A and B are shown apart, each in its own frame.
Chain A
C-alpha cells in the first residue's frame, strides 16, 4: 500500500532533523591539542647559557601538622610544629604570622570592608570564618605560651587579625633554628575568596598559621590580607596528616604517603618538600581520573556529570606539562592534583597551590569554548611562576599573574593554533587575539608594577596584571623573534626555588634580548607605556617612494615595513621606531601600490591596527561582509516576511 503524503512528510521530517542534528553535533566534542611539538624544544639557547636550575629549595619553614576537618561545623582543628630557620643577616626578635582566614571574621576587616569594585570576594559572606590560635610556644625558649602577647601588626587596623606580630622571648640569631609548637582552630567561611565550604565541598586553603617570608635583610614581608592581593612565604617541607569523615575524598598538596580508616574517619598523610604552601579539599561527591604524564602522577577530581570537561582538562594538562617543562624547566614534583569544584563553589575556581590547582566552570564549557583549557593551563603555568619562582604576590602581582598568563596563551597558541579561545569547526579565535582584546586599551589605566592594594578596582587589576602584562611580553616575544620565551626560560631556571623581584626579570631580559627590549619592558611596567604605530602618507615620484610613519606613545620597538608592488610582489625594510615621526624611503623602479607597517602584527600592543596600512588603490569593497550580513539579516527577517 502506498504511503500517504503525511506519512512521507513525517519520514522526511525525521530524516532532515537527523541530518541537521548530525551536522550540529560535529561542532561539539573535546578539543585536544593538535601540535605535538614545541619550537622551543629545538631552541636550546634557554638552557645553554643559563645556570642549571636548582633541584631543591633551601628549606626555611617546615610544617608538620595534624588536622581534623569537621564537615558539619566546617572547622579545622589543627596542631603541629613549625621548624623555622633565620636565614637572614640579622637577629629576629618577633615572628609575623599570616592568619588569612581572619579576613572573614567580620565586616570590619580590611578584606570585607573593601569597597573597590570587581575581583573576587565581592559577594556577601553568609557564614563568617576565622582562624583562632589556641597556643603558640617556642621549644627552645621554654614551655611558655607566647600567643597572648601577639597583636595585629598594623596598629591602624586593630580589627584585622590577618597579620599578627608575635614577640619572641629571645631573639633568634642568624643561622639558628627554632621549633614553634602551635595549636589552632580554623572556622571555614561560606565559600569566599578561594576558601570555605559550599554544601559538603570544603576548600581548605590559607587555613593554618603561616610564618611570613623573611627577607635576607631580616625584615618580614608581612601584610594585611587585601582582597586583590595573594600570598608569599618561604620554602620548606609540609608533612600534613588530615582526618576527614570516611565518605570524603581528599585532594591535597604532594603525594599521599598513607591512607587509613580509623573508625568513621579517613586519615591521609601528605608530605611535600620544596614548597611554600599547602592546601587541600574534601568532598563526598568527587569522581576521579588519573594519568601518568612524564613521570608525574596526575589526579583529577571532579563532580559527577563533568566527565567531558574533565577529559579536556586532562588533555590540556598532559600537553601543558610537556610544553611548560621544555620552556621553563622540569616540573620537579611527583604529583599534580586538579580539582574541579562543584557548582556553587565558584569562588574556589581557578586557583593555584603547590602541586594542586583548582579549575572550574560549567559542565558544558568545553570543546568550542576555550575556558576549560585556558583555566587549566593558566593554573598549571602557575606551578612555575609562583610555585617554583616564588615572587611576592602581594607586592608584585604582575610578576606571577602576568608571566603565567603569557605562558598560558603561549601554550594555547602552540597547541590549539587559531582556535585556542574559541573553536567552531574550521574557524576560531586565537588565544592571543582574546588576550589583545582585553589588554590592548588598558595601558592608560594605571601602572602595572605596583602592589595589589594600590589598584583602584578589581577590573583594572585584572586587565593590567593579567592581560596587559602578558600582552607586553607577547609583543616583545614576537618583535624579538622568540626572545621573551628564551628570557623567561632563563629567568625561570635561574630563580627556581628563589624569590626574585621585577629587577631580576628586567636584568634577565636585558641579558637575553638587549637593552632596548629591557627598556621597552620597563616602560610598560612602570610608566603606563603604550604605542600606536600609524602610516600618515605614501607618495612616489622619480623612482623613490616616501612613507611617512608615526609612532605615538612611549614604547620604542623596531618595526617591519612591507612595500607592495603593483605586480603583486613585495619587499621589506626595517624601521627602528626611535623617532616619533619619520619618512622612510625606498628606491624602486616598480610602481608601489601599498605599504604595511608591522604586516605580521608582531606589535600586538599597538593600540590601533587599522591605521598600519595605506593603499594607493581605491579601497576594496567589503563584499564579503555585505554578503554575509545581508544573508543573516534576510534570514532573520523571514520571521516576519515569507
Chain B
C-alpha cells in the first residue's frame, strides 16, 4: 500500500465510525430523554415551548431549573451512572473500528466483528486503563495546582500565583495526552499485531520512544482540530442562539456535524497510531522496520488479509 493510500486508510473504517457515532447519539437521546420530558411538560402550556428556554436573559431557563432543580439533579446522577454502561459498549465499538482499520477486508462486516470480538479483552482493559489514567492524572493535577498556588500566595500576588500554578495543569494535560497516545497506540497494536494487554502497552511505549515526534504530531493535529470544531460550535451557538427556529436548526446541525467530524478525526488518529505501531518491530529486535520518513513501509501481511 502506498504512503498516500495509507494516509486515507481510516476511510475504510468510515461505516463503522458512522455506526459508532449513531450509537452514541442514540444512547445520548435515551439518557437525556428524562430532561427533555421535564422541559416539555413544564412548558407544555406555552405555545413557544422550549424556545423560551433560549430567550435572552434566561428567565424561563432559570424558572425550569428553580422549579425542578432537585429532580433534575437526581436525573443527572442517574444519567451519569447509566453512561458508565457505555464503557464496555465503547470498548466494543473501539475494537470494531480498530479491526476495520487493521483488516484487508473492511467491507466484510462479519469478519470485522469476529475480529473485534477476538480482540475485545485487551481493547477493553486498555480502555479502562485509559479512563483511570486520565481521571487520576486530572485529579492529581488539580490537587497539585491547589497546593502550588497556596504555597506561592505568600510571596506572589494571587494572580501571579494562579497563573504560575496553572503550569501544573499544563503538565497534567500533557500527561493526559501522553496516556491517551500510549493507550490508543496500545489498542491499535493489540488488534493489529494480536498482542495481549501487557505486550501491547510495552509495544506502545517502544513506539513512543522510537517515533515520539510522529506520534505526538499525529495526535496533536487531530486533537487540536477537534478542539477547534468544538470551540467554533460553541461560539456559533452563543452567537446565533437557539431561540429562532432557523438559527436553532442551523446550530444543531452544525453541532452534530462537528461531533461527527471529531469522530472521524478520532478514527484518523487511530489509523495513524496503528501505522506507527506497525512500523516498529514487535519482538524487540531493536530495529525500526521503516526508514525515518513520513510514511511507514509496507506492513507485514497479517493472517487476516
From B40, which residue of chain A is reached at the shortest CB distance?
A: A622
**A9 located at the interface, meaning its Cβ lies under 8 Å from any Cβ of chain B in the complex:** yes
B117 within 8 A of A: no
Q: Is B31 an interface residue (CB 8 A)?
A: yes
Find out whether the CB atom of B66 lies under 8 angstroms from the CB atom of A437.
Answer: yes
Q: State whether A636 and B59 are in contact (beta carbons under 8 Å apart), knowing that A426-B239, A593-B47 are contacts in the complex.
A: no
Mark contacts of A404-441 with chain B using CB atoms, 8 A cut-off: 1 yes-contact digit, 0 otherwise.
00000000000001110010111111101110110011
C-alpha spacing A13/B219, complex, angstroms: 9
Contact check, A6 vs B40: say whether CB atoms are below 8 A apart.
Answer: no
Q: Is the CB of B238 within 8 A of A624?
A: no
A304 interfacial by beta-carbon distance below 8 Å:
yes
For B224, list chain A residues within 8 Å (CB).
12-14, 16-17, 20
Q: Which residues of A contact B28 (CB under 8 A)?
A: 629-634, 637
Q: B58 touching A426 by the CB < 8 A rule?
A: no
Whether B57 and A433, one on each chain, are in contact in the complex, defined by CB atoms closer than 8 angstroms, is yes
Q: Is the CB of A617 within 8 A of B47?
A: yes
Stretch of B199-207, B225-233, B277-285 with 4 or more beta carbons under 8 angstroms from chain A: B225-233
B93 within 8 A of A: yes
Inter-subunit contact B232/A9 (CB<8 Å): no
| A169 is an interface residue with CB less than 8 A from chain B | no
A614 CB contacts on chain B under 8 angstroms: 45
Q: Does A23 contact B (CB under 8 A)?
A: yes
Q: Give Cα A20–Cα B66 distance, bound, in whole angstroms.
A: 34
Provide the bound-state CA to CA distance between A622 and B61, in Å.
Answer: 13
The answer to whether residues A24 and B231 also contact, given A433-B59, A620-B48, A635-B259 and a CB cut-off of 8 A, is yes
Tell whether A348 is near chain B: CB-to-CB under 8 Å. no
Q: How large is the interface on B (under 10, 10 to 19, 20 to 34, 35 or more residues)?
A: 35 or more
- Per the 8 Å Cβ criterion, residues 579-610 of A in contact with B are 593-594, 596, 601, 608-610
Name the distance in Å between B78's Cβ and chain A's nearest Cβ: 13
- CB–CB A615/B45 < 8 A: yes
**Chain B 235-250 near chain A by CB (<8 Å), digits 1 or 0:** 1011111100000100
User: Given A6-B214, A642-B94 in contact, is the A613-B235 Cβ separation under 8 Å?
Assistant: no
Report chain A residues within 8 Å CB of B127: 640
Partner pick for B158 among A13, A363, A622, A628, CB 8 A cutoff: A363
Residue numbers in B under 8 Å from A428 (CB-CB): 56-58
CB <8 Å contact, A642 and B259: no
Smallest Cβ-Cβ distance to B230: which chain A residue: A635
Q: Which residues on the A side are within 8 Å of B223 (C-beta)?
A: 13
A34 at interface by CB-CB < 8 Å: no
A123 contacts B by Cβ under 8 Å: no
Contact B220 A23 (CB under 8 A): no
Residues of B within 8 Å of A12, CB to CB, are: 221, 224-225
**How far apart sit A608 and B68, CA to CA, in the bound complex (Å)?**
11
Within 8 A of A (CB), among B1-52: 7, 17, 20-21, 23-25, 27-29, 31-33, 35-36, 39-51
Residues in B neighbouring A611, C-beta threshold 8 A: 45
Count the A residues whose beta carbon is within 8 Å of the partner chain — how many? 84
Closest to A285 in B: B157
Binary flags per residue of A289-309, CB closer than 8 Å to B gives 1, else 0? 000000000000001111000
User: Interface readout for B247-261 with A: 1 if CB under 8 Å, 0 if not?
Assistant: 010001001100100
B240 adjacent to A433 (CB under 8 Å): no
Query: Is A364 engaged at the interface, CB distance under 8 Å to the other chain?
Result: yes
Interface residues of A in 363-418 (CB under 8 A from B): 363-364, 417-418
List residues of chain A with CB within 8 A of the CB of B7.
5
Check B266–A594 contact: CB distance below 8 A: no
In the complex, how many angstroms separate the beta carbon of B261 from the nearest chain A beta carbon? 11
Give complex CA distance A634, B79 in Å: 12
Report if A19 contacts B (CB, 8 A): yes
- In the assembly, what is the distance between CA of A417 and CA of B56, in Å? 9
- Contact check, A17 vs B86: say whether CB atoms are below 8 A apart: no
On whether the beta carbons of A621 and B238 are closer than 8 Å, the reply is no
Tell which of B20, B24, B42, B89 touches A610, judged by Cβ atoms closer than 8 Å. Answer: B42
Q: Is the CB of A4 within 8 A of B39?
A: no
C-alpha gap A594/B27 in the complex (Å): 35
Q: Nearest B residue to A610 by beta-carbon distance?
A: B42
Contact present for A638 and B35 (CB under 8 Å)? no
Contacts of A637 in B (CB 8 A): 24, 27-28, 83, 86, 90
Say yes or no: A641 contacts B67, CB within 8 Å.
Answer: no
Name B294's closest neighbour in chain A (CB-CB): A5
Cα(A640)–Cα(B80), bound, Å: 13
Given A362-B158, A437-B66, check contact A622 B39 (CB 8 Å). yes
Establish whether residues B232 and A641, one from each chain, have CB atoms under 8 Å apart when the complex forms: no
Q: Does A26 contact B (CB under 8 A)?
A: yes
**In the complex with contacts A418-B57, A630-B29, A639-B217 CB distance below 8 A:** no
A535 at the interface (CB under 8 A from B): yes
Q: Are B294 and A427 in contact (CB under 8 A)?
A: no
Q: How many angstroms from the CA of A636 to the CA of B64 in the assembled complex?
A: 23
How near does chain A come to B38, taking the closest CB pair, in angstroms?
9
Is residue B213 within 8 Å, beta carbon to beta carbon, of the partner chain? yes
- Answer whether A615 and B47 are a contact pair too, CB < 8 Å, given A363-B162, A631-B252: yes
7 A-B pairs within 8 Å (CB atoms) are namely A6-B214, A13-B221, A16-B228, A615-B44, A625-B35, A630-B29, A634-B256
The 3 closest A-B CB pairs, nearest first, are A641-B90, A305-B159, A620-B49
> Given A20-B227, A429-B62, A641-B23, 18 other A-B contacts at CB below 8 A?
A7-B294, A13-B217, A26-B235, A426-B238, A434-B62, A615-B44, A619-B41, A620-B51, A623-B50, A624-B50, A626-B29, A629-B28, A629-B35, A633-B28, A635-B262, A637-B90, A638-B24, A640-B83
Residues of B within 8 A of A (CB): 7, 17, 20-21, 23-25, 27-29, 31-33, 35-36, 39-51, 53-54, 56-60, 62-67, 79, 83, 86-87, 89-91, 93-94, 97, 127, 131, 153, 157-160, 162, 213-214, 216-218, 220-221, 223-225, 227-228, 230-232, 235, 237-242, 248, 252, 255-256, 259, 262-263, 266-267, 270, 293-295
